[in-house]
Amino acid sequence: MNANTSVNSSDTLTVSSGRPSEPQRPPRKRYVFLMSAPALLGLFMFLVLPFLMALGMSFTDQRLLSPNATEWVGLRNYDRLLNISWLVQEPVSDAAGNLKQTADGELVYPRLRSVLRNDPEYKDFKEYTHWSFDNKRVVLLAKDPSFIQSIINTLLFVILVVPIQCGTALGLALLINQKLRGIFLFRTVFFSPVVTSIVVVSIVWSFLYHKDLGLFNHYLSAMSFGLIGPVDWLGDPDWAMPSIVLMSAWQAAGVQMLIFLAGLQGISGDLYEAAELDGAGPWGKFVNVTLPGLKNTTIFVVISTTIQAFGLFTQVDVMTRGGPQGSTSTVMYHAVTKGFREQDIAYGSAISVIFFLAILAIALLQKRFFDKREDA
């Protein structure tokens, strides 16, 4: 029988064979390595590594193509992005102590630019915005005012688009969850914008939003009997972002609709029958059965829509290029403008890092918020 008996220990088990030794097949480990390596390499090279590079480069002055050596600059990029300050200005008065006024009766303040230039504390700051009250003027300063505006624009987009898009999606899902003949046709129709590229959609909608020829102004004027004049949807700083919100929600709602639909169909019919026996009407059933049943789906939809919304870039790039007056510039748009168009990779990386941290924080916050609501 066996000449060499194996030892009773898991790691020193030896194969002893009555037959002459057989060719050993490659061990499992090699298969694991060979089969998982390509994807892991891809993820590492093109996701983890760039992310770590962003982190590292955000502390340097790296440029895309530059003859100069890259240097560590510490937190300078972050300081430039996030440093906010303010100052209060007194109106200028003449020798007699009377407040100077312009011809329109407005108060005159010292020229901001010279004030900033002369004060070392405010050297790199620029005006973001100002308010006046009580004869004084409060000026909000930032080192990169357009980034601050981009943050605010992005938040505005998210706050508007998430409820509109998710609400639309839920509504559509409820609509096509009805048992009607040919309902699948409508499902296809509602979903069709999703498969259309957002670039194409943005171009077509640019036409619909056109000030003179566009369909929106035509309907607006028709419905108000000409009272409401043409709105320059994409050219008016107040309207440009809401216009992009509307289009974005329209384009992407189909995805969330399908997810909600799957959630709706996952709710057991027994629950509705039980609710009916308990005397619940359609609204009661919606509130007590449908909504609780969609809880996990809603969490997923809201979080994923939010993350997606934060990355707003393409629509802006195609439709408005961040304008008018910076009213549609977003964090991503700013990052690409700085990091790519102006070749300041380090600065763009710092924006990417802030962008990622914001997404992470919001995803975690939303999850906690939804978890809490369940406890309550």
Considering only residues 196-235, where is the footprint of other proteins by CB under 8 A?
196-201, 203-208, 213, 215, 218
Q: Among residues 126 and 218, whose Cβ is nearest to other proteins?
A: 218
- Cα 231 to Cα 228: distance, rounded to the nearest angstrom: 8
The verdict on 20 binding other proteins (CB under 8 A) reads: no
Tokens representing residue 124 in the block: 């790199």
Q: Among residues 44 and 131, whose Cβ is nearest to other proteins?
A: 44
- Cα 210 to Cα 230: distance, rounded to the nearest angstrom: 9
- Cα 174 to Cα 213: distance, rounded to the nearest angstrom: 35
- Cα 263 to Cα 259: distance, rounded to the nearest angstrom: 6
Give kind and range of the element (H or E) at residue 37.
helix 28-43
Among 154, 306, 327, 352, binds other proteins (CB under 8 A): 352
The verdict on 101 binding other proteins (CB under 8 A) reads: no
Q: Closest distance between other proteins and the C-beta of residue 143, in Å?
A: 19
The verdict on 266 binding other proteins (CB under 8 A) reads: yes
The verdict on 156 binding other proteins (CB under 8 A) reads: no
The verdict on 49 binding other proteins (CB under 8 A) reads: yes
The verdict on 78 binding other proteins (CB under 8 A) reads: no
- Cα 152 to Cα 203: distance, rounded to the nearest angstrom: 25
Give kind and range of the element (H or E) at residue 142.
strand 136-142
The verdict on 318 binding other proteins (CB under 8 A) reads: yes
The verdict on 311 binding other proteins (CB under 8 A) reads: yes
The verdict on 146 binding other proteins (CB under 8 A) reads: no
Q: Is 110 helix (H, G, I), strand (E, B) or coil?
A: coil
Among 99, 108, 189, 228, binds other proteins (CB under 8 A): 189
Q: Closest distance between other proteins and the C-beta of residue 251, in Å?
A: 9
Among 41, 99, 223, 287, binds other proteins (CB under 8 A): 41
Task: Considering only residues 230 through 259, tell me which ones interact with other proteins, judged by CB under 8 A.
Answer: 250, 254-256, 258-259
Q: Tell me, by CB under 8 A, how many residues bind other proteins.
A: 111
Q: Closest distance between other proteins and the C-beta of residue 54, in Å?
A: 4
List alpha helices for 102-236, DSSP H: 112-118, 145-176, 183-195, 198-208, 215-223
Q: How is residue 123 annotated by DSSP? A: T
Beta strands in 40-135 (DSSP E): 84-89, 126-133
- From the list 182, 84, 184, the residue with the least C-alpha distance to 127 is 84
Q: How is residue 137 annotated by DSSP? A: E
Q: Among residues 112 and 297, whose Cβ is nearest to other proteins?
A: 297
Q: Among residues 150 and 352, whose Cβ is nearest to other proteins?
A: 352
Cβ atoms within 10 Å, residue 4: 9
Q: Among residues 86 and 191, whose Cβ is nearest to other proteins?
A: 191
